[in-house]
Amino acid sequence: MAEFKEISPDAPLGQKALNWVDNRFPLSKLFNEHMAEYYAPKNFNWWYIFGSLALLVLVIQIVTGIFLVMHYKPDATTAFASVEYIMRDVPWGWLIRYMHSTGASAFFVVVYLHMYRGLIYGSYRKPRELVWVFGCAIFLVLMAEAFMGYLLPWGQMSYWGAQVIVNLFSAIPFVGPDLALLIRGDFVVGDATLNRFFSFHVIAVPLVLLGLVVAHIIALHEVGSNNPDGVEIKATKDDKGIPLDGIPFHPYYSVHDIFGVSLFLMVFSAIVFFAPEFGGYFLEYNNFIPADPLVTPLHIAPVWYFTPFYSMLRAITSEMMYALIACVLLGALLGVIKARLNMVMKGAVVGGAVVLVALMMAIDAKFWGVVAMGGAVVILFFLPWLDNSPVKSIRYRPSWNKWLYLVFVINFLILGYLGVQPPSPVGERVSQVGTLFYFGFFLLMPWWSRLGEFKPVPSRVTFHPH
Query: What pLDDT is attached to residue 466?
Result: 59
Average pLDDT over residues 76-100: 95
Average pLDDT, the chain: 91
Q: pTM for the full model? A: 0.93
Residue 344: how many CA atoms within 13 Å on its side-chain side?
0
Check residue 423 and report its DSSP letter. P
Annotated binding site for heme b: 100, 114, 201, 216
Class of domain 26-288: mainly alpha
Is the pLDDT assigned to residue 71 strictly greater than 60? yes
Buried b (16+ CB within 10 A) or exposed e, 170-200: bbbeeebeeebeebbeeeebeeebbebbbeb
26-288 against 304-448: fold identical: yes
- Name the fold adopted by 304-448: Cytochrome Bc1 Complex; Chain C (1.20.810)
Annotated binding site for a ubiquinone: 221
Bond into 127 cis (ω within 30) = yes
Is the pLDDT assigned to residue 339 strictly greater than 70? no
3-class DSSP state of 363: coil
Is the pLDDT assigned to residue 1 strictly greater than 60? no
Distance CA 159, CA 346 (A): 49
Annotated binding site: 100, 114, 201, 216, 221
Q: Percent helix, strand, coil in the chain (nearest 5)?
A: 70, 0, 30
5-11 long-range contacts, Cβ below 8 Å, gap at least 24? Answer: none
Q: Is 92 left (phi over 0), alpha (psi -120 to 50) or beta?
A: left
Per-residue pLDDT tens digits for 4-26: 788 888 889 889 899 889 888 98
Average pLDDT over residues 278-297: 89
Is the pLDDT assigned to residue 140 strictly greater than 90? yes
3-class DSSP state of 77: coil
Q: Give the start-to-end residue ranges of the domains of the chain.
A: 26-288, 304-448
Query: What pLDDT is attached to residue 329?
Result: 86
Residue 298 phi, psi dihedral angles, 5° rounding: -60, -35
Buried b (16+ CB within 10 A) or exposed e, 113-150: bbbbbbbbbbbbbeebbbbbbbbbbbbbbbbebbbbbb
Give me the residues paired with residue 237 across strands. 243
Percent of the chain with pLDDT over 70: 98
The better pLDDT of the pair 448, 235 is held by 448
Query: What pLDDT is attached to residue 2?
Result: 61
Per-residue pLDDT tens digits for 435-460: 999 999 999 999 999 999 999 999 88
Residue 52 confidence class, pLDDT cut points 50, 70, 90:
very high
The better pLDDT of the pair 359, 71 is held by 71
Cα 113 to its chain centre, rounded Å, is 9
Query: What pLDDT is attached to residue 235?
Result: 85
Is the pLDDT assigned to residue 122 strictly greater than 90? yes
